[in-house]
Amino acid sequence: MNSLFELQNIKTPPVWKERLNGKVSQGKSLREPTYRKFPVMAAVLMIVLLMSGTALAYALTGGEFFAKLFMQKAETNSADYSYIDVSQLSAIAGKTIGTVVDTDQLRIDVTDVVSSGSDAMVALCVTAKQLDSVLRYTGWDEVPLNNYRFGSEDGTIFNNMESATVRYIYSDEDTSLAPNQFYLVLTITSLDGFKDSPYTVALQSFGYYDRLAATGNGVGVTTLYKGPWKINLDLSQDTDHSRTILLNRKVDIGEYNYDLEGIYLTPFSCTAVISYEGDPDLSEERFKEVSVKASDFALYTTDRTPVKHGEVSLQNGGTDQPDSTYHITVHLEVPANVKDVLRIHIFGKNFDISPVINDAGQK
């Protein structure tokens, strides 16, 4: 175990201490919720501002931004997305599309908001009014890291979340954007659904990543504008386009027994909820076991087409639930009509599910 002495090379970046000192010296602000950062993503897209009147009008129609986004994915990918259903997005759009937060530095337009059951997606178009470009090209492997972005994305919309994705879309990916614009697309899955609308998105520390910033030892955002910018969002509390399938079936995962309580389907995700009664000392062991076995999670439509999904996310506990309850979620690559999903495969078993009228998708 002498090799563990290599751990002494892990030193605290001085910039961490500097930031801590800054927060401590602010005193009262420490009583506010602390910030949270997410891994950043870039992707492809289209639209909006400083563009033609047609583009702006288009952006103000609920659900259309995301419909276009998903259709573009389906059309440019060789996978079978024949089950895609974007027609439902307009019915689950929020009412705050078109809201603008305008300051001297940034203009933020709410381009689109859709939500159903436990899932919400938000698209914001950000214009850096005093910058010619929000892109920073300093090397082939630095481009995503150095583009302008927010150092913190937070707000009540992330409360009690099961998982969240933050995507940044720049003009190098979507040529309809001006060089000083980008889209910020948030995808949030809540443990308890979105029942308390309106929600907020709070953005802070607009700047760019620079791996060599400050100390040469840490990674951080070089902040140009501190903010914060707060956007209020009125989410649809739709449940008509989601489904709850209560199963209460026993499943074995490794050497443990679980109760598969139910399956929760929305146009964007599928969540299986399992629970156990037992020794909480083993919860980490169980978490590991479940996380491995949960990767075998598949959905099939009416004609047995596999519904494409991304990585499996796992969360235990919730507002009203103990740590012995697990939520296993797959996020669909394109939206599906939940009534078309007829079979779930998880933990080595198939569960046939038939649509039930008046199901509710909230957990």
Q: Pick one of 28, 39, 53, 277: the residue that binds another protein (CB under 8 A).
A: 39
Tokens coding 117: 């059951």
- Contact pattern for another protein over residues 332 through 351, marking x by CB under 8 A: -x------------------
Residue closer to another protein, measured from CB, 80 or 311:
311
Q: Is 144 in the site for another protein (CB under 8 A)?
A: yes
Using CB under 8 A, which of the segments 1-9, 51-59, 198-206, 230-238 binds another protein? 1-9
Secondary structure string (H, E, C) spanning the chain: CHHHHHHHHCCCCHHHHHHHHHHHHHHHHHHCCCCCCCCEEECCCCCCCCCCHHHHHHHCCCCHHHHHHHHHHHHHCCCCCCCECCCCHHHHECCCCCCEEECCCEEEEEEEEEEECCEEEEEEEEEECCCCCCCCCCCCCCHHHHCEEEEEEECHHHCCEEEEEEEEEECCCCCCCCCCEEEEEEEEEECCCCCCCCEEEEEEEEEEEECCCCCCCCCEEEEEECCCEEEEECCCCCCCCCEEEEEEEEEEECCEEEEEEEEEECCCEEEEEEECCCCHHHHHHHHHHHHHHCCCEEEEECCCCECCEEEEEEEEEECCEEEEEEEEEEEECCCECHHHEEEEEECCEEEECCCCCCCCCCC
Shortest Cβ 3–another protein spacing (Å): 5
Residues 249-288 that bind another protein (CB under 8 A): 281, 284-285, 288
Q: Is 214 in the site for another protein (CB under 8 A)?
A: no
Residue closer to another protein, measured from CB, 96 or 122:
122
- Contact pattern for another protein over residues 159 through 178, marking x by CB under 8 A: --xxxxxxx-----------
Q: Pick one of 4, 28, 248, 320: the residue that binds another protein (CB under 8 A).
A: 4
Q: CA 339, 341, 346: angle at the middle one, nearest 5?
A: 140
Residues 219-248 that bind another protein (CB under 8 A): 219-220
Residue closer to another protein, measured from CB, 39 or 53:
39
Using CB under 8 A, which of the segments 34-42, 50-58, 112-120, 200-208 binds another protein? 34-42
Residue closer to another protein, measured from CB, 278 or 310:
310
Shortest Cβ 273–another protein spacing (Å): 15
Residues 173-202 that bind another protein (CB under 8 A): 187
Residues 298-317 that bind another protein (CB under 8 A): 310-311, 313-317
Residues that bind another protein (CB under 8 A): 1, 3-7, 9-13, 16-17, 19-20, 23-24, 30-31, 34-43, 141, 143-145, 161-167, 187, 209, 211, 217-220, 281, 284-285, 288, 310-311, 313-317, 331, 333
